[in-house]
Structure 1
């Protein structure tokens, strides 16, 4: 599918830190490891990054190959991102964006960073990827601000929250028309087998309206609400829409690495993680049928 340049987002952040420190954090492998990635490394023929080189970034069950397009120190860092993500069944999905650009400028004893990410696919999975990336970058830049200004790495509290085991996005106009729905909520693109959502009876195509009576009008609100649940012991109440009717169910959220993506990359490589999940999927369903995607579905 063709990319649509209008499918993009940008974030502006100000840091009480010298421009050299901000540049080091965003444009070197060592700096990325302080706030963003589990492991980052430069791959290329040059000791210093240059256009044509690659950064390989690992986020647990996600890897990102960054192809460097522009590298102007203390000014512009532009890359093309290719993400590979391991699903709970061990399959690997690939997502791309045309460009991710970071511009930094000194302003009144502050350093301003502008992040622009452009070129997401215009289908529903592209929408999910864009919403997921925008919120992920918002939290990561908040963490960078904390690292640079307070010396505190907040990755664990920012990203270690229980999961429902779904892929979801803000319900869009096409989905509203399909489901005869005029309100807000989160559309379920995928419900992973053996996940809390699956065990609670949720299905692909359902629209989650509220969690524990807290409205989840869009993707950001969904993550904000679910991030407030920091234990697995108590079931949460879920209000959702299916075939035009409201329903209620309960789910016990999970901190299992298959759903959080938080795995120990010091023990397992990216391929090790994929193989373990594939084997687990086969054990849970000897026929494998529970893990097959719908023929008409997109990944």
Structure 2
């Protein structure tokens, strides 16, 4: 076992006391990140059990530390359905640190877990790192400008895949020099998704989207978001069994793929049932 860590940092033009409620109260969390937070009181205290709902994702957490306005820590428990209908269960410890620096506050979010070294934990780390970077970016806009941009930030259309940055070994298996070429390996391709309809398969190495190289997970997500603005099918270059292929994908904003659903138990149950019926997962 070893530690897997995802970290994001954002500087916000506000005091730590002004930012604190957004991180440690249900109302504040709902203002920039969550759809619903269920807890006994109007604030979250050490030892409290908290249910956090973001779209169709449910996190049953416990508050490990609440030290206003400097440190807030949760132990998160997730259960994610994969494309083959199996489940990936995992726990994280998410810690928020606030440090005042003159007229700004440095906000750091760190998500840690102890897990075996495998591609799924890499996927979780990369998703978490970019996700918290995006969430803190939205928090900055909410605090400084009163603008909640979460649906603009997270609502970009999807391919319908689970992917992560390819290892040097995975790049070499496709016949490339990992010192000069990189890409994203597809861990899952959802049945009847845009990616599946375009011929992409589990194990493919995606090298470029819209002509832009995607050597990292971050590059992959950025290229998807930028491609949507062009309002046309997205050209994809990928490798399979040492050969290069080209295809084009029409992205989808289906809630099944974006996870942006109304936060009701009935709606969440319907989405999960639909995933089970189709053997699909949310990436």
TM-score relative to the length of structure 2: 0.90
Superimposed CA distance per residue, residues 185-225 of structure 1 (whole angstroms, 9 cap, x where no aligned partner): 01000001000111111111100001111111110010001
Whether contact under 8 Å (1:257, 1:263) holds in the other structure is: yes
2:149 to 129, 154, 174: 154
- Alpha-carbon deviation of 1:149? 0.1
In the alignment, what sits opposite 1:115? 109
Partner of 1:76: 71
Q: Deviations over 1:45-94 (max 9, x none)?
A: x6643332122111112112222111111111111121233456776542
Cα 1:47–1:256 change in 2 (3 A) is closer
Contact 1:90–1:274 at 8 Å: present in 2 too?
A: no
Residue 249 of structure 2 corresponds to 251
CA distance in structure 2 between the partners assigned to 1:263 and 1:27 by the alignment: 24
- Indicate yes or no: 2:200 matched with 1:206: no
Of 244-253 and 123-132, the range deviating more from structure 2: 244-253
Give the counterpart of 2:100 among 75, 83, 106: 106
Shift in Å, 1:120: 5.3
Match of 2:28 in 1: 31
1:116-265 alignment runs, 5 A limit: 116-119=110-113, 121=115, 122-182=117-177, 183-230=181-228, 234-265=232-263
* Long gaps (5+) in structure 1: 282-290, 294-299
| Residue correspondences, number | 277
Contact 2:256 2:271 in 1 (8 A): no
CA distance in 2 between partners of 1:64 and 1:158 (Å): 21
TM-score by length of 1: 0.85
Distance, in Å, in 1 between the alignment partners of 2:239 and 2:5 is 29
The range that moved more, 120-129 or 269-278, is 269-278
**Contact 2:11 2:104 survives alignment (8 Å):** yes
Question: Does the CA-based 8 Å contact 1:63-1:85 persist in structure 2?
Answer: no
Indicate conservation of the 8 Å contact 1:187/1:206, yes or no.
yes
Matches of 1:35 and 1:111 in 2, distance apart?
17
Hey, what does 1:15 align to over in structure 2? Answer: 12
Q: Secondary structure at the match of 1:268?
A: helix
Residues 120/262 of structure 1: CA separation in 2 closer, same or farther (3 Å cut): farther
